[in-house]
A and B are shown apart, each in its own frame.
Chain A
Amino acid sequence: MFGDGETRSFAGGGVRHWVALGLGVVIAGAVAGSVVAGQFDDGSQLSAAIEESDLVKVADIPSSDGAPAKGVYVQVTRTGHLCVWESVSATSRERGGGCNTVDDPLNGQALSYTLSYDGGPVVTDVRTATLFGLATPQVARAAVVMSDQTKHDIRLRNVRIGDADYRAFGYRVRRSDLKHGIAPIAVIALDASGAEIGRQTTGIG
């Protein structure tokens, strides 16, 4: 038989046991979470870094067919990424695009871009579409190839980002083409001699 003092002591020990167990579970969960986060880069660090550094405008996308004018912006983050965004301003939350590491910003290609569109996924349901990105200085000319095999030149603008030179661009697909189901199927990069040195398909059209 336990005396009163022994009973209180036993009950107190039980609560302490559960508190210790709870603490253990929380700490183990935190440690496990850190280990998993460390093993798999889910982009959360880059996502946070994007909010910290400034965007610099490198090209324009004029307004057309009721769609607002936009700009092409670049950003170098503390995580070592070069991001290329399409946005209405340098500070707008309405920003979309992509990031690559600064040591391979174009994925080893002569030209790299993001296709941006509203509506869809069927082409005839697409209301607006733009293409924006960067090319190497070796690219003298770029053109968008449409699904009806017509080609439209893309204006390139020389820019310097960090210690490297690039050619930036933003292009708006004509609304009349989209209405007729004509979509951009690829962007080609040509050198000064007119030879094709890069091609990236859009995957639509």
Chain B
Amino acid sequence: MRRALATFMVLAFLALSSTAVAAYQYAPPRQWTPGASAGSTYSSNWLANYFMTWGSGYDKTVTFIRNTNYGWYNTKRGTSDYLETYAPFDGTYKAHCVSHSYFWGSCNVR
């Protein structure tokens, strides 16, 4: 009985900790169209924001938006399968991604 409970606790901890360490997928895999966008929650702890697409050559943007002036910071726009930018050190930002073409992909922040 105790062994079963201990096993359960370990598994539950592993499940929760793996979720916490992994990137937060703020836009799950889906079909994107030109002009479509998505954003994460605001945080001062984000490190990087990336847009992953299936197939190559699709135009897209990743950036961080500050919560005070809503300006765009460290914006990257390109056609790489995987497009990444980093969060500024100071302040509170949300990760933001924009599609400029038709493709399948997801946006993630960590």
A118-126, A149-157, A189-197: which lies at the interface: A118-126
Task: Identify A98's interface contact among B5, B29, B83, CB under 8 A.
Answer: B83
Known pairs A12-B1, A97-B84; A23 contacts B8 (CB<8 A): yes
A203 touches B82 (CB 8 A): no
- Complex Cα distance A29/B18, Å? 12
B residues in contact with A98, CB < 8 Å: 76, 78-84
Task: Identify A97's interface contact among B5, B72, B80, B110, CB under 8 A.
Answer: B80
Known pairs A26-B11, A200-B79; A93 contacts B86 (CB<8 A): yes
- Complex Cα distance A95/B100, Å? 23
* Residue of B7, B12, B76 ringed by the most chain A CB atoms within 10 A: B76
Bits for A83-96, please: 1 = Cβ < 8 Å to B, else 0. 11000000001111
B80 touches A114 (CB 8 A): yes
Task: Identify A116's interface contact among B5, B48, B76, B100, CB under 8 A.
Answer: B76
Bits for B58-88, please: 1 = Cβ < 8 Å to A, else 0. 0100000000000111111111111111100
Of chain B, the residue at the smallest CB distance from A18 is B8
Is B20 positioned at the interface, with any CB of A under 8 Å from its CB?
no
- Complex Cα distance A109/B59, Å? 14
Is A43 positioned at the interface, with any CB of B under 8 Å from its CB?
yes
Please count how many residues in chain B sit with their CB below 8 Å of the partner chain's CB atoms. 40
A107 touches B79 (CB 8 A): yes
Of chain B, the residue at the smallest CB distance from A118 is B73
B76 touches A94 (CB 8 A): no
Interchain nearest-CB distance for B37 vs A (Å): 11
B residues in contact with A81, CB < 8 Å: 81-82
Of chain B, the residue at the smallest CB distance from A127 is B71
B residues in contact with A119, CB < 8 Å: 71-73
- Complex Cα distance A197/B84, Å? 28
Known pairs A12-B1, A23-B7, A30-B15; A46 contacts B78 (CB<8 A): no
Interface residues of A (CB under 8 A from B): 12, 15-16, 19-20, 22-23, 26-27, 29-30, 40-44, 46-47, 50, 81, 83-84, 93-101, 104, 107-109, 112-121, 125, 133, 200, 202-204
Q: A19-B8, A108-B56 are in contact. List 13 more A-B contacts (CB 8 A).
A: A22-B8, A26-B12, A40-B29, A42-B108, A46-B82, A81-B81, A100-B82, A101-B81, A108-B57, A109-B57, A115-B76, A117-B77, A121-B72
Q: Could you pull out 13 A-B pairs where Cβ atoms are within 8 angstroms?
A: A22-B8, A41-B52, A42-B29, A42-B52, A46-B52, A47-B50, A47-B82, A96-B84, A98-B83, A104-B56, A113-B78, A116-B77, A203-B77
